Structure 1
């Protein structure tokens, strides 16, 4: 069960073709992700997610992809892993007799692991494994894994991997290019008996002092990025043109930045591309950069535009009516004395100076917990095999 690859940056989405086969497999079978039209300089990402069913009295989980082949290199790759409810979770890669491993303890029964890696060459890895220890009495583990990077090498090829240790389950594989989804497909493994938990969750209601009351907000939904730094908060009745369980926040590298802007975050992509929110949803960025005046901007049609925002505790919050691509920025230090603080911003200027009005429909505010940062220091080898995994399934005990 693992994985993720993300996006093509500078090439047009229409030129990229992705297919996944077969759509149903048995344990040990090979999955093939065929890709064509992916030019050099593209940011490619693949995301897989599912629920791992556990047998009675099982305290550990492990899933393994064998002979993982990637036809092109990934420069500046990074990997995100999210697993719950767990005590700890991690990744292990084996190649040429060398084993590399990263593991992280959970925060509130959840591991949110983020690592930037060295460049990852094309080729085949012997084994890639996700593993961990679950909390007491857990019957399943929800897991999501993403790998992304800037592609270098052949424009066409196939990512392949075989799966071991999984008897019954399913994997949802999502591929994006330039922030646009080009493939979203479920692969069935054996005869699964469980349904993955929907990704969005109901937020706790805010109390009068800004804390959490502990009572779920009626009809409330929160969708988080895997690094827990960005969250979308809305009401289920506000969502149109997409099922709530299909809404995601996916990370990529910001591109085409204005020369006088400094990026403080990754690019965060709200998908599916046709989802709408009425009234508007709140998109919140964790902002703890002391001495900087941050602002949120949206990216569309090769142009960045500042959007109105306000501080809510440690978060900078904007309101959005549709899907889109967003990032957090600041100006160079010499320019910041001339910048308005986000609290007073009602409309903001694009790099060309045009004022962009944004509706300000309010929705219930939610206190968002502090981010738990991942453990440090891993290596490129971890990234090389993540290509095929978030397969969520029932484990077969050894």
Structure 2
């Protein structure tokens, strides 16, 4: 039996297999509001056969967006825009739906990637980004405004408010974005965090604010629903955030009841040197899992079914999160199940699509037609 297509449980959330559609920014929202692009994108991947779909990085306040096109959930309008999309997913799919809660910090006020992705000056419609310290992401950029005590409280409360809105939308799980050089990762890394108060300096102090935000979200999201976190396990920069510090952070999260750690890397500095290759981040997930026992997700250049199967079957990670591979092949999970001997959920309208060589792919026994 394929390990990739065996169940796993996160609190009361029972997942049919070990696949999650990773959160992928679409940069296509209107003032933070989801639209017909999100309806098409989310509903399409809700039929992918993965057990869980994670909605893209969703800003908890307007200045927490990476770009003007980033999705948000900070007011009634952004909540209302998501409601019919979630309703449609529930009508046609059994997939669990999670959301990644995010704040861009000093990487906010950027152009969308296809327009270059660089900082938008305030004179051209940008906004004043904020961060742990007045240290720009890139040399020559306008520095972010360092968050003071009131700002820290405001952002923490924004995460809490968004978590409450996510619950009102009926979402099944949350993932806190603490990776890729965005705000919470900025607090962790000594490259971006040069504070001298209780939120900077030592490892314990740099971890303090991300842990406070996690605790605040966990306190308001229903106890029976899981809350995970995405981390960059290393900055790939000497003197920056690294794997041993991540393992310490993971231990603190474990004590607070984190339900999974989605293990990525990089993003806090343009000086990073990433050794790209198939599954290049898997050893990071494996090290965290071995050191802490926390459920881990592996992500990054995982493209082939047998590759994903080996990762979970050998215990290197508990789940696989797929991003670009799912965009390229929205039925990746179907094809993987066919290759590995697993089963996936599919709507009855699609049952006749299964090849004659894989009649048990959807678990359907018959399909009558006149």
Asked if these proteins are the same fold (TM beyond 0.5), I'd say: no
Calculate the TM-score normalised by the size of structure 2. 0.30
Q: Which structure has more helix as a fraction of its residues?
A: 2
Larger RCO: 1 or 2 (CA < 8 Å, sep 6+): 1
Q: Which structure has more strand as a fraction of its residues?
A: 1
